[in-house]
Amino acid sequence: MRHFLDTTDLTVKEIDELIALATDIIANKKKYAHVCSGKKLATLFFEPSTRTRLSFEAAMLELGGSVIGFSEANSSSASKGESVGDTVKMVSCYADIIAMRHPLEGAPRVASYKSDVPVINAGDGGHSHPTQTLTDLLTIYREKGRFNNLTIGLCGDLKFGRTVHSLIKAMCRYSDIKFVLISPKELSVPDYIKTDYLDERGMGYIETEKIENVMPQLDILYMTRIQRERFFSEDEYLKHKDAFILDTDKLKTAKSDLTIMHPLPRVNEITTDVDDDPRAKYFEQALNGKYIRMALIITLLNWAGGLSDED
């Protein structure tokens, strides 16, 4: 049984195949309209979500399958004290594939030990968000046509921003990638990401607190929000909440083919007038999330032997 819990659970070749499948789905939507007929996706969301949960659900519906699940812990028996393991053991009796978001790091992995069907990590605490990374990779591929020879600026809350952690792990596997890490010192990338990925792979990176200093170098600017829900105190959050605000003025020195990305939700870190800049791709990015999740559902169900030729 193969689950998808971390970006590196997929080889580079398998990611290429997923991107190719998503690209084919985009071009030939009707061909895939019944691929998951008779199959059920369970979305177990113990933490709030708009894009991830709804794009997973839209993905399964557009593949001809159906969806069950819950969108908050309080509407499940977790509120009565049921463990993640027991919940997933039960749900894997009712569904063919599970997407789980949980505030605790590692919860989807624990779930995978108890599940009889593939489990997908839809975000675990401040740790990782691998399907967002697949979304980001599809966006980079569609915008740049390559995964190498890129200078990628990651800006905002790089400490708690799980999408950044997963994206660094993924991009470390390509050549000629330079990371520009833009954050307040207190919100810099965790040490394990630096030692186990950036240093271990000999990746070039610089750290700065000033986005203006590095803007002209960037091929991709990946903005993130300050993750209010992960701070230990409101005062700490308030100290950093306006650390970076991208506006049209700051973009004046950027490359004409810069790609501006954001996993969303946005709070105030990108002003809304930037939305009209043709380099802003964050809403396309959210749409790409549906297509890559369609590709992931098909792939994991195929690996589990759940999609026959007749399906």
Active site residues: 51-52, 80, 101, 129
**Contacting ligand CP (CB under 6 A), which of 119, 220, 264, 294?**
264
Could you count the other beta carbons within 10 Å of the beta carbon of residue 61? Answer: 14
157, 227 Cβ separation under 8 angstroms: yes
Taking the complex as a whole, how short is the minimal distance between the CB of residue 119 and ligand CP, in angstroms?
Answer: 17
**From 88-96, 192-200, 224-232, 262-270, span contacting ligand CP (CB under 6 A):** 262-270
Taking the complex as a whole, how short is the minimal distance between the CB of residue 49 and ligand CP, in angstroms?
Answer: 3
Supply 249's token pair: 């003025």
How many amino acids of this chain bind ligand CP (CB under 6 A)? 9
Hey, which residues between 208 and 237 contact ligand CP (CB under 6 A)? none
**Contacting ligand CP (CB under 6 A), which of 132, 133, 227, 259?**
132
Residue closer to ligand CP (CB basis): 3 or 101: 101
**From 141-149, 167-175, 250-258, 259-267, span contacting ligand CP (CB under 6 A):** 259-267
Among candidates 35, 109, 122, which has minimal Cα distance to 70?
Answer: 122
Regarding 161 and contact with ligand CP (CB under 6 A), the answer is no
Regarding 50 and contact with ligand CP (CB under 6 A), the answer is yes
Regarding 52 and contact with ligand CP (CB under 6 A), the answer is yes
Regarding 72 and contact with ligand CP (CB under 6 A), the answer is no
Regarding 265 and contact with ligand CP (CB under 6 A), the answer is yes
**The Cα angle at residue 15 between residues 101 and 167, in degrees rounded to 5:** 55
Regarding 180 and contact with ligand CP (CB under 6 A), the answer is no
Regarding 11 and contact with ligand CP (CB under 6 A), the answer is no
Taking the complex as a whole, how short is the minimal distance between the CB of residue 136 and ligand CP, in angstroms?
Answer: 10
Taking the complex as a whole, how short is the minimal distance between the CB of residue 123 and ligand CP, in angstroms?
Answer: 6
**Contacting ligand CP (CB under 6 A), which of 7, 49, 183, 288?**
49
Regarding 283 and contact with ligand CP (CB under 6 A), the answer is no
Regarding 166 and contact with ligand CP (CB under 6 A), the answer is no
Peptide bond just before 265 cis, omega within 30 deg = yes
Contact set with ligand CP (CB under 6 A): 49-52, 123, 132, 263-265
